[in-house]
Structures are given as C-alpha cells and as structure tokens.
Structure 1
Amino acid sequence: MLKPIQSIHHISAIVSDPELTVSFYRDFLGLHLVKQTVNYDDPYTYHLYFGDQAANPGSLITFFPWPNGSLGKIGDGQVTITYLAVGKDSLDFWGQRLDQHHISYEKGQTLGQDYLHFTDQNGLAYRLLASKYPSSTPSSQSDIPQDKAIQGIAGVRILSHRPELTHQLFTQYFAWQIVEEDADFVRLRSPKQNDFLEISQNSGKYGRFQVGTVHHLAFSVNNDQDLSDWKAAMTKQGLHTSELKNRDYFHSLYFRERGGLLIELATQGPGFAINEDAEHLGEKLIIPDLHLDKKTDILNHLPKLDV
C-alpha cells in the first residue's frame, strides 16, 4: 500500500567551483557542511551536502561541482526556485546581510508571504521566505544568530512540460493538496502542511542540465519497503524507474515524471553519522566503500577543497 509522501528530503544541483560553493552556502548562508563525499555514479566529482547541523532530511541542499562545466539552461522539467524558510522577523536581517556581501536581491510577496529573491554565483535562484517551519538545529559553523538562521527547505517552484500530469502525480499518488493558485502557478501542500510545490505552466522547451541548474528533487519515504511499493506503482503507470540505490546515508529510487522532473525518493535513514561522529559531520572527505579501490586516483583527480 502506497503511503503519502510527507515532505521534501533534499535538492541536488550542479555548480562550478567547490570552494566557492562552500564559501557561499556555509559561510554566507550559514548552512552546515554535513558531508564531503563523491558522486556515487561519477566518483571523480565531489558531492557536497549542506543542511542544519543534525543533517535532518528537509534541510539538505547538495551539490555536484563541475569546474569545467558549461552553464545550463532553465526549462521544463526543472526546479526554477528553491524557497528557504527563515523566521518571520528575520528578512530585514537577511536584507542587510545581502547588502553587506554585495549580493543583489529583490523583495516580493507570493500568496501573502514576504520573501527576498536572489541567486548564487552560478545562477541558482532562491527565495528566503518568512514562514513557520518545524524546529531545526542551526549550524555552529555560522555567525548567524539562531533565530535568524535558515531552518530548511520550505518549498520549490518547477516548470512542467505537462502540468496536468504533474498535478495528477502529486495529488493522486503523493496525496498533496492544491491550496492556492494564480495565473502563473498552482501551489500544492504536503499532507504534513510543511512543504509546498509550485507548478508553473510549461515554457515550451526542456531545460539542459549543466552548471546553475537543479539536477533532481528528492522526497522522503520511511524505508526500503516504501521504495519497493513506489517502484511497483510507478512501473504500473508506465514510468521507467531505477533500481533501488544504496547511497549509504539513505536508500533511494529515481524516476522522471511526465512533466519532465527527475524525482528521487529517499529513505529517512540510516543517516549521516554512520561513518562520522555526529559532532564532526563534514569535516573530512569520505570515499564510499564502493569506490575505495580507486581512492588514490580519485584524490589525485579532485580539485583542492580547503575547508
């Protein structure tokens, strides 16, 4: 029996320089670098995880740095904006911080909620959204006051090539509900009422996955049985799915929905402390057991990352 998808697990994007990525997401945004590892499918590429200090699902933004990659193109089947939750009285603080770091931004409002819109050095778009969010553990690596810290992923906006089929997946299978809409998008909210998804009408062209684009969007499930149930259900609907993947920190399943978005379903555990002490997450590079036979070659190939 399929269980409703309760929340976003993580977002994974493609960037260029790994050190600039650490500088922006850890030092400026105040997220905790919770894991330094490599891409399981391309071990000569870093995979960097940022989130709250406890590496809770829902707080995680991960990156594949491609130093020699070209810029991607935003289009159908892609996340176009990631909303990050901050306290309702913290937008003035963030406006000042953006000004101090000479990062341009715009103020706006979406369906009655205030936000600040900006991009990182690769063009990935974010909105700091003043909203209530479940408690998180702000990073001790950051100089940002805890009551002003980013609390997690509040939601995302996507472009769908077939919006009606994307709506169908999220409402009929994920059990998310349409709560608001305007001329530009429809907003759906998760059963827990914490996360939301905004589905925009199609642009007419698919995007190109390179630097400055989100590679996939991951949602949380409980365990491997849930993954198997979803694999069977999506296969029955005619969607091609991956095999179940062991990513050490979670197990996962991938499929591309009919609007073009690459979706990952990821288990809640076993978590990021399985090969590092919970108090020292992200302090050293972890090579997965799968690629230990290539460790010397991997280390020689990876660009320097001084964190």
Structure 2
Amino acid sequence: MSAPIGGLHHVTAIAGDAQRNFDFYAGQLGLRLVKKTVNFDDPGTYHLYYGDGMGNPGTLLTFFPWKNAPRGRKGSGETEATALSVPAGSLEFWRNRLEPFLTSKETKERFGSPVLSFADPDGLALEIVETSESDDARTGWTGSDIPREFAVRGLYGVTIAVRDPEPTARVLTGLLGFEEIGAEGERRRFVTQPGAPGAVIDLIARPDAPAAQTLVGSVHHIAYRLENEAAQIAWRDKLHDAGLGVTDVREREYFRSIYFHEPGRVLFELATDAPGFATDETPDALGTALKLPPWLETRRASIAGMLPALETTGERN
C-alpha cells in the first residue's frame, strides 16, 4: 500500500511583472515571501514562493513571473480557481480590502461555506473561503499589516475544469485515494484525507470549452503532499504502472517532486514535505536574498543580471 496523499502542498502559477506580483501577494494578501529563487529550468526567471511564516506545505502559492508573456486562455484542462482559507467572520474584511479585485460583488455559498471570488492583477482566479478554527487551526503569516484574526491561513483547495470529468474522477478516487463527498450543480467535490487543510478539489465539466492555454494568469500545476521520499518512490511506481507518464524525481532543493498529467490534462505534482525552506536561510531571513541551487551558483552573476529589479525589503535586490 502506498502512503496516503495529503492535502495541497503548493499551487504554482505564471505571473507577469515580478514587482506587481510581490506587491499583491505580500502586500494585499499579507503572505510572506519565504523564498526568492529562480525557475530551475529557466534560470532567467524568478521563482517566488509565498506562504506562512515558515513556508509550511499547504500554505504556498508560487509564481514564475514572465513579464513579456501574453495572457493565458481559459478553457478545459486547467486549474480554474485556487481557494484560500480564512477565519470565520473575516469575509467582510476581505471584501473591503480586495474591492478593486473582486470578480463578483456577491458572496457565494458553496458546500455550506461562504466564498468570495477575486482575481490578482494578472487575472489569476482566486477565492477566499471562510473556515472554522476546528476545521483549520493554521494561523498563517502574522508579520503583515493584516490582523491575526483575518490572516490567510493557507490553501483551501482548487477547482479543475476538464472536458470529460469521468476519467479524471476515476483517477482521483480509484488511484489517488480521494473521496467524492458531494455535488452542487455542475461541481463535484473530492477530498484527500478528510478534515486536513487544503484537502478539497472540485471538478467541473467544460465539454465545449477550448483547450486552456497556460500563460500569464494561469495555474501551471497543483502539488499535493507526501510525507517522505520513500512514499514518493512508491507513488512513482504506482503512477508508472497506471500508465500516467510520471516523471523521474526532480530535485527542487526545498522538496522533491514527481509530475504527471491526469486524464483531463491538468498537471499534478507530488512533493515531499521536507527539507523545507530554512535549509539555506535562517527562519527570520526567509525570502530576503536570491538563493540558487548548487548547480547554478557558478552562474550567479549572469543570472542576477538577467533578473528584473525586485523591491521586497525597501531596497532593490
């Protein structure tokens, strides 16, 4: 038996301007920049990680900012929205704070929880979902100007859109160990490890939609948690045997990853919890310096010269 998959580890999206991205996620949403590194496969581009105080798995939104890339196209085969968990009773605070970014003035009720929809400056679809402390005890990042009682706790879940939901549903329940717990209209809800934070994945059919184009304002992939490398190897073997074209283990310095597409073409990642973000910076200094993996360190000067200026601590980095 493979060890169970946990809730979301992180969601990675494509942004436009890096400074605008930082100003929104660290400023408007009050998340902590926990790591400033580069896309290991495209080192002329930042990889920015935002989360709680330590960048704990399940709190992370990460971005590749490609300033001159075009906007993506919405459609099937994509993560349609990413939802964040906030404390119960805080939706009015967020409605006021996010007023310029709201995509709907109305609060939705979804599976018994209030939901507020908005988009970041690049058009990335986001949601805020109220959760009780008994359902989500995480505190989020308390070092911003947002009061603790309103702070984003972490990831709540994602909505994925595919042309034919049945093969995706079979992979979620029959292979990955998710449980289908209900439906509301066209939306079907699945959870992994019920009761754990970040466990929700909603599935929507988009049979007539064009294939999504993953560019600025799009989610690149969604990552779920694995406890350790042994579990990852076991899952890699299981996914390979299922014919899902899983990758080899990829070294990401702060975790290790494997990737595969589910039948609807949404890119999934299974990432280890360890070693975390304090391996090359102290906890109080997370996100303050440009960090590179060892194999790129010899190119630091040229890489730094390609990256745009990014003001994160009052100085140009």
TM-score (norm 2): 0.93
Deviation at 1:109, TM superposition (A): 1.5
Matches within 5 A, 1:174-189: 174-189=176-191
> How high is the sequence identity, in percent, across the aligned residues?
36
Report if the CA contact (8 A) 1:30-1:143 is conserved: yes
User: Counterpart of 1:193 in structure 2: which amino acid?
Assistant: G
> Is the aligned partner of 1:163 residue 2:165?
yes
Aligned counterpart, 2:315: none
Deviation at 1:127, TM superposition (A): 1.1
User: Counterpart of 2:226 in structure 1: which amino acid?
Assistant: V
Matches within 5 A, 1:24-63: 24-63=24-63
Report if the CA contact (8 A) 1:39-1:46 is conserved: yes
Report if the CA contact (8 A) 2:59-2:140 is conserved: no
The count of residues paired between Structure 1 and Structure 2 equals: 305
Q: Please state whether the residue corresponding to 1:227 is helix, strand or coil.
A: helix
Q: Please state whether the residue corresponding to 2:97 is helix, strand or coil.
A: helix
Aligned counterpart, 1:266: 271
- The gaps in structure 1 that reach 5 residues or longer are none
> Is the aligned partner of 1:147 residue 2:152?
no
Deviation at 1:278, TM superposition (A): 1.0
User: Counterpart of 1:35 in structure 2: which amino acid?
Assistant: K
Aligned counterpart, 1:202: 206
Aligned counterpart, 1:103: 101
Aligned-partner Cα distance in 2 for 1:186–1:34:
33
Aligned-partner Cα distance in 2 for 1:212–1:53:
25
Deviation at 1:105, TM superposition (A): 4.2
Report if the CA contact (8 A) 1:52-1:60 is conserved: yes
Deviation at 1:140, TM superposition (A): 4.2
- The gaps in structure 2 that reach 5 residues or longer are 313-317
> Residue 198 and residue 221 in structure 1: after superposition, are their counterparts in 2 closer, same or farther (change >3 A)?
same
Aligned-partner Cα distance in 1 for 2:265–2:164:
8
Aligned counterpart, 1:231: 236
Deviation at 1:174, TM superposition (A): 2.1
Q: Please state whether the residue corresponding to 1:269 is helix, strand or coil.
A: coil
RMSD value, Cα: 1.3
Deviation beyond 3 Å, 4+ runs, structure 1: none
> Is the aligned partner of 1:298 residue 2:289?
no
Aligned-partner Cα distance in 2 for 1:39–1:64:
7
Q: Please state whether the residue corresponding to 2:279 is helix, strand or coil.
A: coil
Aligned-partner Cα distance in 1 for 2:307–2:214:
21
Aligned-partner Cα distance in 2 for 1:134–1:92:
19
Matches within 5 A, 1:212-223: 212-223=217-228
